[in-house]
Structure 1
Amino acid sequence: MLTVHHLGKSQSERIVWLCEELGIPYELKLYARDPVTRLGPPEYKALHPLGTAPIITDGNVVLAESAAIMEYIMAKYGNGGLIPAATDPAFADYLYWFHFANGSLQPNLGRSMILSRLDLPADNPMLNWVSARRDLVMGLVEKRLGEKDYLAGDAFTAADIVTVFSLTTMRLFLPMDLSPYPNILAYLQRIGARDAYRRALKKSDPDLTPMLT
């Protein structure tokens, strides 16, 4: 049985959502963050040497890293769903945006989160560089969503699933005003209307109001 080990308010919401979109059977195990450190509890850290979310188990397989987990689940259980065919003109865009999520968007937001906790002066060169990169990356997403309803094109794909956490739940850790990004806000409303997204959030983090505005 495929088991999703979900650490509360973490990137593992992507995996719950993916399973709901694909309509595949899975077991969901929930883990609460330590109230002081905000990290995973010992039983979660025992699952994988890094102890980071998400983690799945599937028989003897133990797998971490959200993009790797998503590719594994789609290849083994997805029956071609949520991925354009290689002959589809949207395929290259799908690959780009799927990897952009963890290759560009999430790292830039993560650096901003860390620096925001260091009480650096406003003229700190590293702070300014990271802020400029974050604005560039967010601007690229905004531009794309002004051109297409979804990141890979006209159809919803796994590229959207892997991206949305950074624009929503991540803001619990890095508050970010999305009002300068009307296309992103409109996109999040489309996402929030999806039954599978609502089911996933209700199962994984029932006390969390989806951060779609």
Structure 2
Amino acid sequence: MITVHHLNNSRSQRVLWLLEELGLEYEIVRYERDAETMLAPPALRKVHPLGKSPVITENGVTVAESGAIVEYLVDRHGSGKLKPAPGTAEQLRYTYWLHYAEGSAMPPLLMSLIFSRIPRQPMPFIVRPVAKGIASKVLTSYIEPQLKQHRDYLESELEDREWFAGAKFTAADIQMSFPIEAFAARGGLGEKQPRLSSWLERIHARPAYKRALKRGGPFELIR
């Protein structure tokens, strides 16, 4: 039996979605973030030393990291589903987007979250203007231009294809869901990103996506 160690409002939601798309049986062990720090509880370290989610276990095997989990489940249990044929252009794109999601898209989104929260953190009154000024400078001069560059790039990649690997929905779209959900929640997807907005609507309409939300519980990204 596959066990998903599921942290609320986290990347593990897309693991549930993948399992639903593959029609696999699984069980969920739930963990809740600390209400103040928003960090995962120490109990997750008993599953994996880093104490982060997602993590899955199956027959004594522990797999961490979203991309590794996606590859493990698709290769071991997919029976050819949700993955392009080897040696095709679609397969190369598929591999690229599996790694791009966390390797390129998420770092500026995480930085945006951290620096936007700095002014709201407890600190001496005299320090607050300095911290606020530094955070604002980093956001406007570096992070926001990076986010715009990625949004524009992603929008352009969907110009002549419906899904990220090509004409068919694949696990790469599942992997890409978290950063694009984060863009929508934190930076917004406006009139200049109609293809990304349409892509989000398509994934939200998938029955497996809805089933994963029902099993995983309410899903709202940290802001």
TM-score with structure 2 setting the length: 0.85
The corresponding residue for 1:187 is 199
2-structure distance, mates of 1:160, 1:111:
23
- Cα deviation, residue 109, structure 1: 0.8
1-structure distance, mates of 2:165, 2:183:
23
- Cα deviation, residue 147, structure 1: 2.1
- Equivalent residue letter for 1:60: G
Q: Which has the larger radius of gyration?
A: 2
The corresponding residue for 2:53 is 53
Relative to structure 1, is the Cα distance of residues 171 and 95 closer, same or farther in structure 2, using a 3 angstrom cutoff?
Answer: closer
- Cα deviation, residue 204, structure 1: 0.7
Contact 1:149/1:155 (<8 A) preserved: yes
2-structure distance, mates of 1:209, 1:68:
23
Unaligned runs of 5+ in 1: none
> Secondary structure of the residue that 2:30 maps to in structure 1?
strand
**Would you tell me which structure has more helix in proportion to its own residues?**
2
User: Is 1:77 aligned with 2:77?
Assistant: yes
1-structure distance, mates of 2:69, 2:93:
20
- Cα deviation, residue 36, structure 1: 2.2
- Cα deviation, residue 73, structure 1: 1.1
2-structure distance, mates of 1:130, 1:194:
32
The corresponding residue for 2:41 is 41
Relative to structure 1, is the Cα distance of residues 117 and 183 closer, same or farther in structure 2, using a 3 angstrom cutoff?
Answer: same
> Secondary structure of the residue that 2:212 maps to in structure 1?
helix
Equivalent pairs counted in the alignment come to 207
- Equivalent residue letter for 2:50: L
User: Is 1:151 aligned with 2:164?
Assistant: yes
- Cα deviation, residue 194, structure 1: 0.5
Identity %: 40
2-structure distance, mates of 1:208, 1:93:
28
> After the TM superposition, which parts of structure 1 deviate over 4 Å for at least 4 consecutive aligned residues?
none
Contact 1:105/1:138 (<8 A) preserved: no
> Secondary structure of the residue that 1:28 maps to in structure 2?
strand
- Cα deviation, residue 101, structure 1: 0.6
Select the residue among 145, 150, 156 that pairs with 1:132: 145
The corresponding residue for 1:178 is 189
> Secondary structure of the residue that 1:51 maps to in structure 2?
coil
- Cα deviation, residue 130, structure 1: 2.1
Relative to structure 1, is the Cα distance of residues 123 and 102 closer, same or farther in structure 2, using a 3 angstrom cutoff?
Answer: closer
RMSD: 2.1
Relative to structure 1, is the Cα distance of residues 30 and 171 closer, same or farther in structure 2, using a 3 angstrom cutoff?
Answer: farther
The corresponding residue for 2:107 is 107
Render the CA deviation track for 1:156-175: whole Å, top value 9, x for unaligned.
Answer: 0111000111222x369x62
Relative to structure 1, is the Cα distance of residues 41 and 125 closer, same or farther in structure 2, using a 3 angstrom cutoff?
Answer: closer
TM-score with structure 1 setting the length: 0.89
